Each structure stands twice: as structure tokens, then as C-alpha cells.
Chain A
Amino acid sequence: MGENFSKSGRFPGAGTKWTFPGNGGQWRFPLDQDAKEKSLAAIQRAAEEKQLRYHPSFGAKLWNQIRFQSWKYRASQGAVLLLAMLLAFYLNQKDVPYFESITACSVFLVFAGNLCLSGLGRLFSWHMAELEETLYLNLKQMVCIGMLEAGIVDLAVLSFLAASTGGRGQTGTCACLLYMLVPFLWSDTLYLHMLTAMRNRQNEYLQFAAGIVCGLLALFPLLWENPYQADYLPFWGGALITGLLLLAAQIYRTLGNCMEIA
């Protein structure tokens, strides 16, 4: 290091004259007490301004949303899973025809989806949205967590039902998933719209009625003679893609409108 300085130069940046004792080969700098105190004060100020903050992890945020949900909602989610298992078991045991099985599973999945999604309704009710929007974990994040949670339960229900009915048709498990997903996506889109459109009504009956209507809409394939045959698969594929796009648009709208909702 010493080679970088001339013998009677200045220490770069410090502005302090330095000396070279010669015999010991050790550097000695005279201490500038004022500069030292100023530097220490600046460091202290910077340290005080540096606040230690707790930033909860995604898992902690998820857990916080889950643990403060009402027991009624938890119970209904449990009941949905249990009923899905019982339905799958019943359809297998009784060897119910494919057409009736798919119809029953579609309607059940739609009701299950709406029930799971109804947990979001709370966020938009009782004037809570405005306050929630100003919290560290804001309304948008709460809605995302709620949808994620509902999606996990729906996926479990869909798995039970598809596993029980998929193997019995000629079109296979993938087609079976398609038949169940189409009414599910369409009704979820509609129900999500109703949830935000009917916010702050404070009585839950309107939302409940919307859920029932959405469930009944899942019976629309009954309008055709045999909707679950292979010839109609392109139609079902188109309906699935449209449903996916509509649901994505509705989720985008809901999240984008969180501020206006608040």
C-alpha cells in the first residue's frame, strides 16, 4: 500500500498531513478529532434512520388470511371435500351412467367452487374494503390469497370427481375434466362478478342466490341430446378457452378495480 503514496503527500480523501517515521516503517496519522466526531455522528444518524422492519413471508401472509377466516367457512370447505369423496364413492358403487355422472359432478363442482369463492365476499362487505386497501397486506393481495385458497380446494374436488368418472366414458379422463371445467369456469366468472357487484349489501342472501343460479346454469348441457360424445369435443374445447379468457379478464378486472371498490 505504501508504494502508492509519496513520502510527504496527503492521504487521499482525508485532507490530513501524514508523516513517515522512517526507522519503524509504520504509518502514523495525526487524528482529526472534529472530523472523527462528525463521521461518527453521521454514521449514528444513518443507523437511526435505518429502521428494522418485519416483512412477513408469503407463507406467513397466507397463514394470516387462513387463520382469521370464520369457522363456518372452514366447515363448509371441509363439508365440500367430504361430499366430493362421498359423491365419487357413490357414483362408483352404484355404477351410475356416464352422462348422469358427469352432469352430477359438474353441478357439484360449480356449487363447490362458488362456496369456496364466497370467502372473498367478506373482503368486499361491511365497508372493510377501504380499510383493507390501506393495510400492508392490501385488498388486492388478500383477494389473490383467497382465490388461491379456493382454487386449491376446487382442484382437490375436481381430482376426486374426475378420478371416479373419467375411466367410465369412451372419451377418457381428459375429456371428463373438460366437461366439468367448462361450467365451472363460466359460473366462477359470473359469481366473481356478482361478488364485487353486490358488495356492501350486508345481507348475504343475494350472493347466495347468485351462487344457486350459477349452479343451475351448470345444467346447460342437458339442453342437448348427448353432449358428452366425442363429436362435440371441439365445441367443449372452444367453450373452455372462452371460459378461461373470461375468468382471466374478470380476475384482472376485480384486482384492477380493488381501488375503486374500496
Chain B
Amino acid sequence: MPQLVLDRVTRHFKNKIAVDAVSLRLQPGIHGFLGANGAGKTTLLRMLCGVLKPTSGEIRCNGTDIRVLDGEYRYLLGYLPQDFGYYPDFSAKRYLEYLAACKAVPDALAKERVQEMLHLVGLDGEQRQKIKSFSGGMIRRLGIAQALLNDPEILILDEPTSGLDPKERIRFRNIISALSKEKIVILSTHIVSDVEFIADQILLMKQGRIIEKGSSRDVTDSAAGKVWEYLARPDEAERLNGEFSVSNLRNEGDRVYLRIVSDRCPCQGAALAQPGLEDVYLYYFEELAEETL
């Protein structure tokens, strides 16, 4: 079973630090990187794939630098980039056959594996269609299929559910969950629900650093005592919405239900609530935004 170690991995782009001395140990399981756009998730994932070279630090797979492992490391890898590339004139089947050949899947196995993957992502009916005729969701599903083609031990998915409808998103989550046994699955997203229920470890990333990590429960527990519920009058709701971070707001008759993320009790009558991952996300990111301001 693989083990990935990131040792003070840093990446600069001119004067900007995209990833700042990240040290991590990744064991088999699902690791969900959550963060806003520009947090450094994609840069980190690209370094994990070997597409980008760290400015400093080292990424090791089972104790050896991935640059030394070279092809042996890529053999273990399945990757879905954020900007997923494809040849528009290829059919889905031909495209997967091409990538199977490039991933060194033996010919005898490749055809069977391609059909299996097309079926898995629900594209077996469209396998002879050219990719240029596919919708965004179909292209994303094809991307997921290609990432899984070589039964990778390390699966890296960058924003895998962007462009998928809710049904496809659930289907994707179930596929990843079922396939994650004895694999390192790393996925980055800014959609909390993508990782909330399936990730063994959630890593919150902000300004190139990991600001919180742990199981879904550990991470949500870190915001215990900071989430409040309150039924407010409309004028009061407007004031509270301006003053505090509100993770949920809905009308309930002549009152407004508010879910507020705050270190202190926002108003008299507000009750503590059980935090969810979205509350945590809001808490950490709002807190840091205030600190940096």
C-alpha cells in the first residue's frame, strides 16, 4: 500500500507563494482538500502529480522522492486535472484506449478495462460518439473514467464534480467511496458536500497553508460553541446578517431563521447549534479574512 509524505513543500510563482511549507503524511483513504479559489489546492495537486516541481521541499512515495521514482510513480497515478484535456476528434472509446496504452495497461486487459470504465461512468451508450459532441458533464465523467483506467493506487482529482448535476455528483461520490479501499484518493474542491460524508481526512487550505485537518467530526468539533441558531424579526435579521457570518437564512412565516457563525453569542435568545462542515468552512475562512484585514 502506498504512502505519500510531503516534507515542507513550497512553491513560488515569481513573488507569490502558492504553497507554503506544507508537510503531510497521506495514507490510503480519501483526503479532501477544501478551500476557496486561489488557496493553492491545484498547485499542491499538480506537485503531487509531478507536473510541477516544488520550489523547495520534497514529496516522497514509500520513502523515495517521486522525481527519482519517475515512471514507477506515474504507474501508480490516476489524475483528473481541473482543465481536463481531450482530443475532440476522438471517440470516447478511442480516447480511453489511447490513454490505456499510454498508462501501460496491457493490451489484453485494456479493451475490457475501457468498457468497464465507460459503464461505470454511464457513457457506454455514447462510446462511439466524438468527444466534441459531449456536454460538459459527459466530458467530466469521461475524465473520471480515464483517471481510474489503470486502477491507480494514488488517485488525484482536481475539482472532479464541477459541471456535474446533483445526480451525477452523488454517483461520483459513491464511485470514489467504493474504489477508495487501499488507495490514496486526494480530491480538491470548494464544494463542501463533495467531501463531507466520504472523506477520511478533510484538509482546509488557505493562502497556501493547511489551516485545519482531521476527520469530518474532528474538523466540525473544532467549531463547537461557535454556531448559533436564532429566529429573528426581519429588521433584526437584516442587522445580524450585516454584522455576523450567516451560513443559512430562510423565511419562516413572519420570522427569519438565521444560522450564525460567531465566537460570541450574536444576540439574546440565540441557541448553540451543532456545527456542520459548511459552518466550519465559513468560520475558518471568515476568521482568517478578518485577521489578514
Contact = CB atoms under 8 A, between A and B. Distances in A.
Contacts of A70: 89
A259 B101 contact: no
Interface in B73-112: 74-75, 77, 79, 81, 83-89, 94, 97-99, 101-106
A215 to B, nearest CB: 26
A64 B50 CA distance: 23
B101 A126 contact: no
A255 to B, nearest CB: 14
Contacts of A138: 71, 74
Contact of A131 (B52, B85, B101, B150): B85
A130 B83 CA distance: 9
Contacts of A129: 85
B102 A133 contact: no
Nearest to B131: A126
A219 interface: no
Nearest to A68: B98
B102 A137 contact: yes
A135 interface: yes
B4 interface: no
Nearest to B98: A68
Nearest to A137: B102
A137 B51 CA distance: 14
A128 B85 CA distance: 4
Nearest to A129: B85
Contact of A126 (B87, B97, B98): B87
A54 interface: yes
Contacts of A68: 94, 97-98, 101
Contacts of B106: 54
A137 B104 contact: yes
B49 interface: yes
B103 A136 contact: yes
A134 interface: yes
Contacts of A130: 46, 51, 81, 83, 85
Given A130-B51, A134-B74, A135-B74, A56 B104 contact: yes
* Centre residue among B79, B84, B104 by max chain A CB count within 10 A: B104
Nearest to B49: A134
A127 B81 contact: yes
Interface string A223-262: 0000000000000000000000000000000000001001
Interface in A131-165: 131-138, 142
A136 B101 CA distance: 9
B188 to A, nearest CB: 15
Contact of B99 (A55, A126, A133, A135): A135
A55 B101 CA distance: 11
B51 A134 contact: yes
A55 B85 contact: no
A4 B275 CA distance: 73
A122 interface: yes
B101 A64 contact: yes
Given A64-B101, A136-B102, A136-B103, A131 B81 contact: yes
A132 B95 CA distance: 12
Contact of A259 (B51, B75, B97): B51
Contacts of B104: 53-56, 136-137
Contacts of B74: 134-136, 138
B79 A134 contact: yes
* Centre residue among A122, A128, A133 by max chain B CB count within 10 A: A133
B71 A136 contact: yes
A207 to B, nearest CB: 16
A65 B89 CA distance: 16
A67 B99 CA distance: 12
Interface string A106-141: 000000000000000010001111111111111000
A202 to B, nearest CB: 9
Nearest to B146: A131
A128 B86 contact: yes
Contacts of B50: 133-134
Given A122-B87, A133-B50, A134-B49, 12 more contacts: A64-B102, A67-B101, A68-B97, A127-B85, A130-B46, A134-B50, A135-B103, A136-B71, A136-B75, A136-B103, A136-B150, A262-B51
Interface of A: 53-56, 64, 67-68, 70, 122, 126-138, 142, 259, 262
7 contacts: A68-B98, A127-B83, A128-B85, A130-B51, A135-B99, A136-B74, A137-B104
Interface of B: 46, 49-53, 71, 74-75, 77, 79, 81, 83-89, 94, 97-99, 101-106, 146, 150
